Amino acid sequence: MKQREQWTSKIGFILAAAGSAIGLGAIWKFPYMAGTNGGSVFVLLFIICTLLIGLPILLAEFVIGRRGQADAVTSLNKLSGGRNWAWVGWMGLASSFIILSFYSVVGGWILSYLARAFTFKLSGMDYGELFNTTIANPWEVLIAQALFMTLTVFIVQSGIRGGIERASRWMMPLLFLSFIILAIRSLTLDGAMEGVRFLFVPDWSYFNGTTFLVALGQAFFSLSVGVTAMMTYASYLSKEEKLGQSAFNVSILNIGISILAGLVIFPAVFALGHSPEAGPGLIFVILPAIFNEIPFGSVFLIIFFILMLFATLTSAIAMLEIVVSTGIRKKHDRRRRASWVFGGLIFLVGIPSALSFGLLSDVQIFGNSIFDFADILTSRIAMPLGALAVSLFVGFILTKEDTAEELQMNPAIHSLWKVIVRYFAPIAIVVIFITWILGM
């Protein structure tokens, strides 16, 4: 039986964790969630939720993962001292399964656009019409989704060092550089400042329970907390690494990339006369239009969608790793087979989401498409509940000595963090959740 792998370096772990956190959560979902929830107020609430609730719970997941040195289910079972907390791990696994099932659909859309970019079939088109046509084509979306899952499985089957860490080390810096270039170009378009105001000047009419819960869900979604992804990644971390610093770095990178994505999207949205409420298709409609305004735009468009694919993969491999890590438990020699089996199952579960804009567009679940319902079920319900369970576990089940040994931080800061995860974070999640339900 093989020994459990470890990251080769701290930077490898941070880039992989940041990649899981950033991915489509920051680049695809953040702009369209901000666009449909009032812009600036959503951004403010997202930052608050990330730093005051998301970051402490992210650190809590790191503590559980490294102390348990196993998959989430095993770690929670072992650290609970015989009490039944394994259900939190199983819930996280189920959430990851569902998230990746619809996330892979978006990955497929990116592959479709990348294929068109390579053949220079994106220039000068009606991008709104193109997007609607693409997602309604059943064969195209299913083949593209299958190809995306194949790429994800190919990386995860190679393990932590050979697959996930190696891919993250060069994908994330390239992605960051690309977005800086795009933000500069977007901000220089005529009328771009209207988009900046939308992003940073508050419209307080959007300050309500729904916006708060959406912002909280986005904070959890973009940090990958509440689904045991970070718990799983931290289980491969050596005892020498400082968890507090790593959690802070991941959170700040996540906020930075999210705002950078907003600075790419919204100045261009207003400059080019589009609506910020375009929804999930926002980056597929707006970004090609930006590249039409840039010399050699077709070439840059190819580069961008390659990097978008990288970003999507970094999050997808984290979701699949949760499932595979739990599936193989201590039998690490079964990683390759488990990766393909679980990847295939996730693809099958994702078929209804893939078809929800075409063949199954008339199917509604509580007034939402299958795709949107899967998103709401995970980001607004399962992830906050998972984060709530994690905070209660670390706050009341793990002893102060256990967490102090893992964190190795200033006693006063450790005590403050313990109060946040034991009282503040759970109360905040419950209050926001109840406010959302009452406002429905």
SS in 3 state form for 187-226? HCCCCHHHHHHHHHCCCHHHCCHHHHHHHHHHHHHHHCCC
**Among 315, 18, 352, residue whose Cα is nearest residue 152:** 315
Where residue 126 falls (left for φ over 0; alpha for ψ -120 to 50; beta otherwise) is beta
* Distance from C-alpha of 416 to C-alpha of 314, rounded to nearest angstrom: 32
pLDDT of residue 322: 78
What DSSP character marks residue 8? S
pLDDT of residue 72: 80
- Using a cut of 0.85, tell me whether the model's pTM lies above it: no
User: Per-residue confidence of the chain (440 residues) as pLDDT tens digits?
Assistant: 344 555 555 555 555 555 555 666 677 678 878 888 888 899 999 999 899 988 999 899 889 888 887 778 888 888 887 677 888 888 888 888 898 998 899 899 999 988 888 887 776 677 778 888 888 999 999 999 999 999 899 888 775 555 555 666 666 677 777 778 878 888 888 888 988 898 888 888 888 877 887 888 788 777 777 777 788 778 777 777 778 888 888 888 888 888 888 888 888 888 877 777 766 667 787 778 777 776 777 777 787 788 778 778 877 887 888 788 777 765 656 778 888 999 999 999 999 999 998 888 888 888 888 998 998 888 778 888 888 999 999 888 888 888 888 888 888 888 899 999 999 889 888 887 777 666 55
Contact, 102 vs 346, CB < 8 A? Answer: no
What DSSP character marks residue 404? H
Q: What are the C-alpha distances in Å from 117 to residues 263, 358, 391? A: 23, 23, 44
**pLDDT one-digit tens code per residue, 65-122:** 888 877 788 888 888 876 778 888 888 888 888 989 988 998 999 999 888 888 877 7
* Distance from C-alpha of 409 to C-alpha of 415, rounded to nearest angstrom: 10
Amino acid at 135: I
* Distance from C-alpha of 328 to C-alpha of 107, rounded to nearest angstrom: 26
* Distance from C-alpha of 96 to C-alpha of 90, rounded to nearest angstrom: 10
* Distance from C-alpha of 286 to C-alpha of 349, rounded to nearest angstrom: 30
What does the block give as tokens for 260? 């950078």
Contact, 155 vs 313, CB < 8 A? Answer: yes
Q: Burial letters for 73-92: b for 16+ Cβ neighbours within 10 Å, e otherwise?
A: bbbbbbbeeeeebbebbebb
Residue with tokens 């694919």: 309
* Distance from C-alpha of 224 to C-alpha of 210, rounded to nearest angstrom: 20
